Structure 1
Amino acid sequence: MDTATKTDLPSFGDILADFELLEDWEDRYRYVIELGKKLEPLPDELRTSETKVQGCVSQVWLSTTVHPDGVPRLTFVGDSDAHIVRGLVAILFAIYSGKTADEILDVDAVATLGELHLNEHLTPQRSNGLMAMVTRIRGDAEKARAAAG
């Protein structure tokens, strides 16, 4: 697995368990922000119009690396100029990074993210941005799968 992507990020299962321990949404927001701080810094050369996610109010960059060893496996690096969004990026990486294209496409993002009850506590703009990031990740997985034949 790409260590630049997953350095200190917990698994999605661990994030879900931590969320359940934190009853107050202010504590959960702080936790999401802390997750974002664990992301590796995004190199300046990856802050391009190609890596910028369209549909996010905040600036968000996602860069995908496809590891084609037989079955394409994808890893991601990314960043945002907003602390909470950077944390959401970290959550998405916990869900998707290191998985095969097929595994990524099998994830029901709405149901998976719904386990955290984020939609109930994010602004509509943040929710739309989160789904734009999911769409981008899924699109990269579809391209990787198509390229693999």
Structure 2
Amino acid sequence: MRPTEASAAEAQAAIADEFAFFGDWSERYQYLIDLGRKLPPFPEDWKTEANRLLGCQSKVWIVARGDAGELDFDAVSDSAIVSGLVYLALRVYSGRSAAEILATPADYIAAIGLSKHLSPTRSNGLAALLQFIQDTARRAADGIPPR
């Protein structure tokens, strides 16, 4: 997924602004579902066990490519809400350098109140997704290509 904002920090600020527009969590969940529908197509032949993200109750597949200069991530989930969570993470981190990814904590999660409104299983899945992105960036910074 290609970034829509110039930096990860700008992406996080835009996400916080967008979610602030909604008054309650039913509206925010609907917006999250709508965002998940914006994920780019994910090829069926990429939906393999090797690309499956462990730690998620829902099925999530993620593929990383690039190097320390720019890492691109593609991902998809079989869950509508999780797809929205994937979209937000990719919006912040995909298309960024390994250094920028590693220097950018996922502050948008607290800023929009996600940490208080996700089930424990979704929180664990989001943590696994963010850990995968961080680990990929760390390896890329060390010259190790994405899996």
1:120 counterpart letter in structure 2: K
Shift of 1:116: 1.3
Q: 2:81 aligns with which of 79, 84, 89?
A: 84
Alignment partners' CA distance in 2, 1:7 and 1:97:
6
Partner of 1:113: 109
The structure 1 segments of at least 4 consecutive aligned residues displaced by more than 6 Å after TM superposition are: 7-10
Partner of 1:20: 20
Identity of aligned residues (%): 36
SS in 1 for 2:135: helix
Alignment partners' CA distance in 1, 2:91 and 2:11:
5
Q: 2:126 aligns with which of 117, 121, 130?
A: 130
2:140 counterpart letter in structure 1: A
Q: Closer, same or farther in 2 for the Cα pair 1:8/1:141, shift >3 Å?
A: closer
TM-score calculated relative to the size of structure 2: 0.88
SS in 1 for 2:138: helix
Alignment partners' CA distance in 2, 1:61 and 1:55:
11
1:133 counterpart letter in structure 2: L
Which residues of structure 2 form unaligned runs of 5+? none
Aligned residues: 140
Alignment partners' CA distance in 2, 1:123 and 1:13:
24
Alignment partners' CA distance in 2, 1:11 and 1:127:
21
Alignment partners' CA distance in 1, 2:37 and 2:4:
10
Which residues of structure 1 form unaligned runs of 5+? none
Partner of 1:97: 94
Could you give the per-residue CA deviations for residues 64-101 of structure 1, whole angstroms, max 9, x where no partner exists?
111x4xx5211111100000000000000111011100
Shift of 1:142: 1.0
Alignment partners' CA distance in 2, 1:72 and 1:7:
14
Shift of 1:48: 1.3
Partner of 1:142: 138
TM-score calculated relative to the size of structure 1: 0.87
User: Any conservation in 1 of the 2:69–2:97 contact (CA below 8 Å)?
Assistant: yes
Q: Closer, same or farther in 2 for the Cα pair 1:73/1:6, shift >3 Å?
A: closer
Partner of 2:30: 30
Partner of 2:2: 6
Alignment partners' CA distance in 2, 1:39 and 1:47:
15
User: Any conservation in 2 of the 1:52–1:61 contact (CA below 8 Å)?
Assistant: yes
